[in-house]
Structure 1
């Protein structure tokens, strides 16, 4: 029998206690499992904004990945590979006791949703990718670097230009930029509407949940044998790709690249959004997802 009952749970997956929350079980729909971004982020904002709107008509399952948010850390700082994240997900699905699931991944969660589907294709019905990433690619780094250059900070632009003129490699420039930027500049990168950016940051601070950076470092240092981009053509599920036209973090180039390599995907642009269309255009975000899942 499915283990679908509304509430928050502490679920051991591969020996690590994971935070899990279920809403909308009374609707008895195929569970929509939400995958957060980061890497190393959490669901605190989503479960207080777009999540409850989805839960009005669907069974929604949140879980925070190992070492993220309210889930426990693995013993080793290096235990954050894609293979381990997929293994945790398989254990979560066993705990839920369901055969088929839908996936909604935002940012890195979109990339993880594709990795999971590639591994267990017969168990995934539909996917929604909101501003998906491709973290181990040059284009991802270039999108973020040019994104920071596009927000109009003269000092930052000058510093990045100097790095290019000196012949610094892409990794060096990318790391230098992220060491240099302030929270205000990051908000300009992630949001078109800065009032919504301030609301989002207030929720980040209220959560008291920090991204240790361990998952991101491990994933960037542990390349998979065949890059995800080279495996997209084998993923045949119906997939909805959502992206904001002002997304300077993963951006339209990444969404279009993913969309063009998937055999059965639809790309929907959000014309008032940057990296978080769920926050900048929530009504359209919920409407598009419900239409897609019900079709």
Structure 2
């Protein structure tokens, strides 16, 4: 009898752990649309408040922010979208008619409708912040709270990116800049080995991280795949057409901006505040473009504070 009771307790414990694990496990799924499938990943219980998480780039893999999605999943239903033109969300045809700002913005609405989510928190990092702002401009009634992490420009994108490129160059020494140019040339000519490719990525990312050299633990988290074709298609559209300085005012909810004080794109948060006065900026010191990985304690303290306040 004692053995039976022991086995019953053991099975019950194992079953409980299995159920708990299942509830918090990642769910990968897709939505059929006219040009293919839109893939997404969920973390956390469906009973929790939803957050749509948008990665940067444009063209970066969803997994660059997977650590963020997993971290907040005990309190929020984190939904990471594989944006159109990234990962497995490749449209047919794959050109400017299917990969543009308008299309990737409507994809977020398609995602919400498919999941039967009427209103959601939208969190975007870098280019994802730009996409989040555009979505709030187009579909303000579907956004409960806008959270922008180290966002790109909200207008005059060409000038903003010109300043960004200059800032990046100034963070590298003359020798580093020469070495990066040399490595990029070797990569373009298919002459670089795997170690040289990693070295080039670290030198390029050097400008975006406060610590020098970049710690391997951080580099591994930010070194995501990038679809260069998607990146080029969206950059062209961004330079020509992206401007939410007036349209974002249609969204009247909370806007919180979390930015590293030493981020090379930090100046863009100041510019956003000038046009969108209700945006509140939260600065993190000794931090670059990836506060969720560079200063996680400070980042999550701010993130949970603004979420709880909302």
TM range, normalised to the smaller chain? 0.7 to 0.9
Name the TM-score, length of structure 2 as normaliser: 0.77
2:227 to 212, 230, 234: 212
User: Residue in 2 aligned with 1:86?
Assistant: 105
User: Residue in 2 aligned with 1:12?
Assistant: 32
| 1:134-161 Cα deviation digits (max 9, x unpaired) | 2862332233222223224215779xxx
CA distance in 2, matches of 1:282, 1:13: 36
Task: State the 1:230 CA deviation.
Answer: 3.9
The number of equivalent residue pairs is: 266
Cα pair 2:136 2:248 within 8 Å, conserved: no
1:231 to 247, 260, 272: 247
Alpha carbon RMSD of aligned pairs, Å?
2.8
User: Residue in 2 aligned with 1:240?
Assistant: 256
Provide runs of 4+ in structure 1 moved above 6 Å. Answer: none
Instruction: Note if 1:59 corresponds to 2:96.
Output: no
What are the within-5 Å matches in structure 2 for residues 83-122 of structure 1? 83-122=102-141
CA distance in 1, matches of 2:70, 2:104: 25
CA distance in 1, matches of 2:227, 2:62: 15
Name the TM-score, length of structure 1 as normaliser: 0.80
| 1:122-181 Cα deviation digits (max 9, x unpaired) | 1111011001012862332233222223224215779xxxxxxxxxxxxxxxxx9xx9x9
Q: Secondary structure of the residue that 1:69 maps to in structure 2? A: coil
CA distance in 2, matches of 1:64, 1:33: 11
Q: Which 5+ residue runs of structure 1 have no aligned equivalent?
A: 159-175
CA distance in 2, matches of 1:219, 1:113: 15
1:150 to 150, 153, 170: 170
Task: State the 1:212 CA deviation.
Answer: 2.4
CA distance in 2, matches of 1:263, 1:204: 31
Q: Secondary structure of the residue that 1:182 maps to in structure 2? A: helix
Q: Secondary structure of the residue that 1:44 maps to in structure 2? A: helix
- CA distance 1:151–1:126, shift in 2 (3 Å): same
Q: Which 5+ residue runs of structure 2 have no aligned equivalent?
A: 1-24, 179-184, 189-198
| 1:90-144 Cα deviation digits (max 9, x unpaired) | 1111111011111000000000001001011011110110010128623322332
| 1:31-50 Cα deviation digits (max 9, x unpaired) | 10001110000221321x22
